Structures are given as structure tokens and as C-alpha cells.
Structure 1
């Protein structure tokens, strides 16, 4: 039977407690850091050689759908009542709104070193030491809204700009494409400032701290953010029923993208699953 992912702003006090407890237990067991290592490993950019599966590629959405499912399964092994809530950043847009509360993810980092000092994931609580990252910091950091160079979260109209594009993705299937739903949602843009980071990408930069780069999984908000990104894909699928994941077939000989992206029916590393198999989540979970 399918379970439900809820808007984080609708969680009851008891649901918040169970979610936090399950997250801390997955961290205590050492499983959480495996997710951080995996994301770092698969954070491969356009300028690097080899296969791209997680970012700057058509499989951005199915890869993170499966990644999120793996974490959710770990949480549900601890507490079967827990599912991953989603953070709608077009609605809850301030540094004091959900999920930045003391009973959930804690708030912004302090000015001196951006260390998060409130909530259950604060370093001082002793339950959330960062061991896998791209810096030597052991504590969770945030810079909500980017104090020195302020930016704002994406708006509903900016998200709608992506949602209304009926084509899933286009050649050359990377961070440079200006058409197609995938990159409009993933958010690799051109220029400087907010225009360079759209939707998904700008949210990472708005949160700041460890949410910048491959080790972004160290902030639990990563999962709530990607649950909303996944919900956006699900809504896009319902809106554009005649359109599906692209490309259908791998790029041909001579293409610079040959062997660098995953086509619809190809296996999506590190799992034995294809994007085609990940398009329908209805038997596993639904969104409230």
C-alpha cells in the first residue's frame, strides 16, 4: 500500500518528533554518511569525463527519486510511520518559517562561522557530526538568504516557467541547454546572480553552508528540497501525459554525449534500475 509524503508545514508535533528521531537514528547507525559519500561520488559535472547520472544530465530527476527512496527506506526501517516531507519553497519562503524551526531542522547559522546552533541537528547536541564532506568542518552550516550577497528563493512564476515546458530535455543533454523541463527545474542558467541559478539550484544557494556542492546531503533539508523537486516532476508528468523522459535512445557514434548520459531504458548507476522504471511512483508513495 502506498504511503504519503506530506507538506512539511502540515506535520503535527508528533510527526516532527518521529521524523527527527528516525533521521538521528539513521545517522547513528552510520547509514546516513553512506548517502553523503554516494552523492559526492556521483556529483559529476559537464567538464569531467565519464558518465553523468546525478547532475547536469537528463537522469537528474530519476536519479534523485531513487536516492530519496533509499533514504526513506532507511528511515522506515527505524519507524514505519515516517515518510519524507517536502518543503515547498515557493510558499514557505522566510528564514523563520518551516522547516527552520527548533523542533525540526533548526535555524540559520551564526554570523561568525555559519554554524547551526539551534535544533536537533546542531553540532552542540552531539548527534550530527559531519564526517563526510569537502571541508574539514564537523558542524552543520547555513547562510539562509546569503547575508553578504542576498538572493531570494524561486517564486511560483519561476517554477511555472519550468513546469509549462512540455519537452522533458533536449540535446546536448547537459547544463547548457536552455529548453526542456529538466534543466529549467534543475536550474543551470547563464549570467550572474539569481539568473545563473534557477529553481532547484538557487534553493541550494539560498540555504548556503554545506548545501553548496556535492556534500549537500549533510544538511537534512536536502531531502525535503528534493522531495518537492520530485513532486514537481510528478506534477509535470500529469500535466504533460504525452511526454516522457528523454532521450529514448543513447546518443549515436560521434556524439560528445555518447557514453556520458543515461537513455530511458538504460541502467541508472549505482542501481539496477532504468529511468523508465522510475517514472511511476504511484504504487510506492503519493503526495498530499
Structure 2
């Protein structure tokens, strides 16, 4: 079993090993395959297809399995590497160590959002974006969106989601406003004065490639989602009697039948169920 650490506590050697493993995964082509997987399963709820990655109850277990896939591939390169997490309620500066030249690199330049610093800068020659043809070949970011400022989620916004004892509610999509931890944390259940909360707000705060289905083109994606995974863990500990919903496949006639995953239904592309992904005992722990 390995440990996922808060990124702010990583040593310079740990940062170097993590970024080196990510660069090797990119060089092999395996990284871009992971980006394509995320894009394939990024299905908006206006579509009639199955939604497994986003805007649906399986948001948490699907991303847990996806993160494990990434982490296992990194560990085939370097067994001592694990995915760090970024607590965006406390580490909120665009110039924090997370965005330093020795780790993820910083924001994009004003003219075209092109990331110029760090190991994933296009000009270093090791990070060409190939998935997401509407975007540029270079990694883009716009930390904090200075021209139209947006703040990272606050501890109070996170607490608002954590306090909800119900995992998810009908209609099990981005419009589920009657409550539900999943939609509040994923970030669609925002007041009319805002468009996003929590998870979604972080994607918007980073900007650039992080704002679409091919968001994993930015390695910051994994640190963000490791924290999302940790939040699910904390919510489960806080509400031990509240399990994944829907518990059973939806009834015939329900408009969401066949479009969302119930507790014991398999999630593509791995055919594991939300129940099987409901804890990570024996796999990893958070520090």
C-alpha cells in the first residue's frame, strides 16, 4: 500500500520523480491514451447516452478507478511514485510551490495562454498536446482568470457539499438541485449568481486545457482529482450510513434509465462497479 501526500509537503526529489514519471508516460504514448479515455466518457447530460464520468452519480467511483489506472502506470516506471493531492481550499495562490518551475510550471503568457515554465512547457520539447484538436499543441493555463477573476473554492463552499448526508438525488444529472453531495461537490449545483462550485470551479480557475473533456492534458488534473477523491473519503467517514445512490437500476419509464450507473452495475471501460470502488483499503492511504 502506498501513500498519497499533500503536494505542499513533497521534497524536491519527490517532485522530480513524479514529473519524470509523467514525462516518461507521455513519451510512451500511454499518457495520451489516458486523455482519450477521459474525453470519451465526458458525456454531457443533454446527450441520450450513458453518462459515467461526469454529471452522474458515478463521478466519484469512475474517477477513483481512472486515477488508479494513471498511478499504476506511473509506478511501472517508478515504483516509488504516487499521485499527490492539491488542497485548493488552502493552497490558493497562482504563485504557490505547486506552480513553481520544479513542479507543474506556472500560468500561461497573456497573449495565448501558453505555459512557458516548468517541465510541461511546450518549448522544453517534451509536452506536445495531441488530444483535443480544437486546442493548441502547447499546454495552456490562465490561473485565476485575471481578465475576469474567479476564486478557488473556499472551505465554506466545500463544507456546504460535505454537510449534505445524501449521496445523490434524482434526476441524477447536473440539474439535481434538491440536494445531493455528488452534484454539490462536482459543482453544477451552484446558485444562479454563479456558474460553478467546488470541483468545476477549480477547472475554471486553472483555465486553458483544464476547461474541457481533454482536461488531463494538464498534469494538474491528477492532483485536483486526488483531492476530490480524498473529499469523497472524508464524506463517507462523516456520513457512514449514507451509501452510493441509486442503489438499484432505475425503473422502466424513468428518463434516466440506462443513462446512469447504479451501485452494482459495471462502469466502462473497466467493468468495475461503484460498490467495488467505494473504498480504497489496501490500495493507498492519504497523509
**TM-score range relative to shorter protein:** over 0.9
- Aligned residue for 1:100? 99
| Distance (whole Å) between structure 2 residues aligned to residue 183 and residue 71 of structure 1 | 24
| Cα distance in 2 for residues equivalent to 1:24 and 1:277 | 31
Report the alpha carbon displacement of residue 191 of structure 1 after superposing the two structures with TM.
5.5
Contact 1:19 1:82 in 2 (8 A): yes
Aligned residues: 286
Question: For the Cα contact (< 8 Å) 1:247–1:264, is it kept in 2?
Answer: yes
CA deviation after TM superposition for structure 1 residue 148, in Å: 1.4
1 CA distance for matches of 2:76 and 2:28? 12
State which drifts further: 141-150 or 224-233.
Answer: 141-150
* Contact 1:134–1:215, Cα closer than 8 Å, also in 2: no
| CA contact 1:204–1:212 (8 Å) conserved in 2 | yes
Query: Are the counterparts in 2 of residues 39 and 214 from structure 1 also a CA contact under 8 Å?
Result: yes
What is the 5 A alignment of 1:130-169? 130-169=129-168
Q: Which residue in the other structure is 2:81 paired with?
A: 82
Report how far residue 69 of structure 1 moved: 0.4
Q: Offset at 1:212?
A: 0.6
- The 4+ residue runs of structure 1 with deviation greater than 4 A are 190-193
SS of alignment partner, residue 257 of structure 2: coil
Task: Give distance in 2, aligned partners of 1:134 and 1:282.
Answer: 39
Give, in angstroms, the shift of residue 211 of structure 1: 0.3
Alpha carbons 1:59, 1:275 under 8 Å: kept? yes
- Tell me what 1:9 maps to: 8
Query: What RMSD in Å do the two structures reach over aligned CA positions?
Result: 0.9
Between the aligned partners of 2:43 and 2:24, the Cα distance in structure 1 is 29
User: 2:150, 2:63 → 1: CA distance?
Assistant: 25
Structure 2 distance, partners of 1:39, 1:99, is: 23
SS of equivalent to 2:43: coil
2:199 alignment partner in structure 1: 200
CA distance in 2, matches of 1:206, 1:232: 19
Distance, in Å, in 1 between the alignment partners of 2:248 and 2:212 is 30
* C-alpha distance in 2 between matches for 1:170 and 1:91: 29
| Secondary structure of 1:4's aligned partner | strand
User: Aligned partners of 1:171, 1:47: CA distance in 2, in Å?
Assistant: 15
Instruction: Quote the Cα distance in structure 2 between the aligned partners of 1:50 and 1:114.
Output: 33
**Is the contact made by 1:122 and 1:140 (CA closer than 8 Å) also made in structure 2?**
yes
Aligned-pair CA distance for 1:224: 0.2
Q: Which residue of 2 aligns with 1:182?
A: 182
Q: Which runs of 5+ in 2 are unaligned?
A: none
Normalising by structure 2, we get a TM-score of 0.98
Question: Aligned-pair distance for 1:136?
Answer: 4.3
